[in-house]
Amino acid sequence: MSEPSAPVPLSVLDLVPVVSGSTPGQALRRTIDLARHAEAAGYRRYWVAEHHLADGVASSAPELVIGQVAGATTRIRVGSAAVQLGHRTALSVVEQFGTLDALYPGRIDLGLGRSGHRAGPRGGAEPAEPAEEPAARRVGGVLIPPPFRPRALLESPYFTAQQDLLRLPGARPPGYAEHVDTIAALLAGEHRVPRGGTAHQVHAVPGEGADLQLWVLGSSAGESARVAGERGLPFAANYHVSPGTILETVAAYRDAFRPSGRLARPYLVVSADVVVAPDDDTARQLASGYGLWVRSIRSGRGAMPYPSPAEAEGHRWTEADRALVADRVDTQLVGSPDTVVAGLRRLRAVTGADELLITTITHAHPDRVRSYTLLADAWFGRGTA
Instruction: Indicate which CATH number applies to the domain containing 283.
Output: 3.20.20.30
Backbone angles phi, psi at 318, to 5 degrees: -100, 165
Q: How far apart are CA 278 and CA 254, in angstroms?
A: 37
* Residue 65 CB coordination number (10 Å): 24
**Which residues span the domain enclosing 53?**
10-124+133-192+202-379
Provide the pLDDT for residue 256.
Answer: 98
Mean pLDDT over 236-260 rounds to 97
Residue 1 has pLDDT above 70, yes or no: no
197 domain-assigned: no
Q: How far apart are CA 90 and CA 117, in angstroms?
A: 13
More confident residue, 133 or 332: 332
Provide the pLDDT for residue 225.
Answer: 97
Summarize pLDDT for 27-39 with one digit per residue, the tens: 999 999 999 999 9
Provide the pLDDT for residue 384.
Answer: 46
Mean pLDDT over 375-383 rounds to 92
Has this prediction a pTM greater than 0.85?
yes
| Distance between start and end Cα atoms, the chain | 31
- Counting the structural domains of the chain, the total is 1
Q: How far apart are CA 274 and CA 334, in angstroms?
A: 6
Under 8 Å between Cβ of 46 and 12:
yes
Provide the pLDDT for residue 269.
Answer: 98
2 domain-assigned: no
Residue 113 has pLDDT above 90, yes or no: yes
155 domain-assigned: yes
> Could you tell me the CA-to-CA distances from 294 to 56, 148, 153, 212, 213 in Å, in that order?
11, 12, 12, 32, 31
pLDDT category of residue 127 using cuts at 50, 70 and 90: very low
Which ranges of 42-89 does DSSP label H, i.e. alpha helix?
62-72
Residue 298 has pLDDT above 80, yes or no: yes
Q: How far apart are CA 289 and CA 27, in angstroms?
A: 17
Provide the pLDDT for residue 195.
Answer: 78
Provide the pLDDT for residue 315.
Answer: 84
Torsion of CA 55, 48, 348, 250, to 10 degrees: 90
Provide the pLDDT for residue 129.
Answer: 54
Q: What percent of the chain has pLDDT over 90?
A: 81
Mean pLDDT over 210-234 rounds to 97
pLDDT category of residue 385 using cuts at 50, 70 and 90: very low
Mean pLDDT over 175-188 rounds to 96
Residue 5 has pLDDT above 60, yes or no: no
Summarize pLDDT for 138-169 with one digit per residue, the tens: 999 999 999 998 777 767 777 788 788 988 88
Summarize pLDDT for 58-111 with one digit per residue, the tens: 999 999 999 999 999 999 999 999 999 999 999 999 999 999 999 999 999 999
Under 8 Å between Cβ of 117 and 86:
yes
Using omega within 30 degrees of 0 as the cis cutoff, is the peptide bond preceding 82 cis? Answer: yes
71 domain-assigned: yes
385 domain-assigned: no
Average pLDDT across the chain, whole number: 92
Provide the pLDDT for residue 156.
Answer: 75
Mean pLDDT over 115-132 rounds to 50
375 domain-assigned: yes
